[in-house]
Amino acid sequence: MGGFRLRAVFISMGSSCSSVLSRQEKVSTMSLVVWMTLLANFAFLSFLAIGGVMAVAPDMHRLVVDGLSLVSNQEFLAAVTLGKLSPGPNALFVAVLGYQISGFSGALLIMFAMIVPSAIFAFYVSRWRHRNSHRLSVQSFAIGSSPVVVGLLFSTALILMKGFSGISTLICLMLVALIVWKTRLHLLLLMAIGALLGVAGFV
């Protein structure tokens, strides 16, 4: 029985390694057109990231998973999870995503495309907004952006839920949403509980 389990582990490791190698071969043959498409789209998304990078996660998913097939859905979810768990800004998951695509060079290039254009844009727009904050049009735009951010984050939640299945997972998601809404329980505690449930095999 022990030998059978050990063999199963080695078979699983072998399939995982072959998957990684095939991904590396595909990445190594990525053409300049693919790289330009990837970086141009991330640079464009950086201007649309109203309320944070997570607001444009669905568009990233459509690009790298559905469009270019550079990562799988599970790998995308893993990148988001690692980015959220790591201390720092939410944009860290973009670096993890870039690393999954093409190692450290991919992480640096995609982070550059995602952060630098929007940072320059935000710098000049914030100065302009400060000078024109008294105008009704500027105030209306700021107020009207709130429902846009909520809608973008809701679409992100729908994309992330694609990787989960089963009634138990759905019940857990509903309970967590209710707890976050109705209580002041710390999110780190909820994350720890979720990790324990995952290790125990409930979700």
Q: Other CB atoms closer than 10 Å to residue 55's CB: what's the count? A: 22
Predicted pLDDT of residue 30: 65
Task: Evaluate if residue 29 carries a pLDDT over 70.
Answer: no
* Long-range contact set of residues 108-117: C-beta below 8 Å, sequence gap at least 24: 109/35, 109/39, 110/38, 110/39, 110/42, 113/38, 113/39, 113/40, 113/42, 113/43, 113/46, 114/42, 114/43, 114/45, 114/46, 114/49, 114/53, 115/46, 115/91, 116/46, 117/43, 117/46, 117/47
Mean of per-residue pLDDT scores for the chain:
75
Q: In the structure, what pLDDT confidence band is assigned to residue 153 with cuts at 50, 70 and 90?
A: confident
Task: Evaluate if residue 46 carries a pLDDT over 70.
Answer: yes
Q: How far is CA 77 from the centre of its chain?
A: 7
Predicted pLDDT of residue 163: 60
33-37, 75-79, 99-103, 133-137: the lowest-pLDDT one: 133-137
Predicted pLDDT of residue 18: 39
The distance in angstroms from the start CA to the end CA of the chain is 27
Mean pLDDT on 103-129: 86
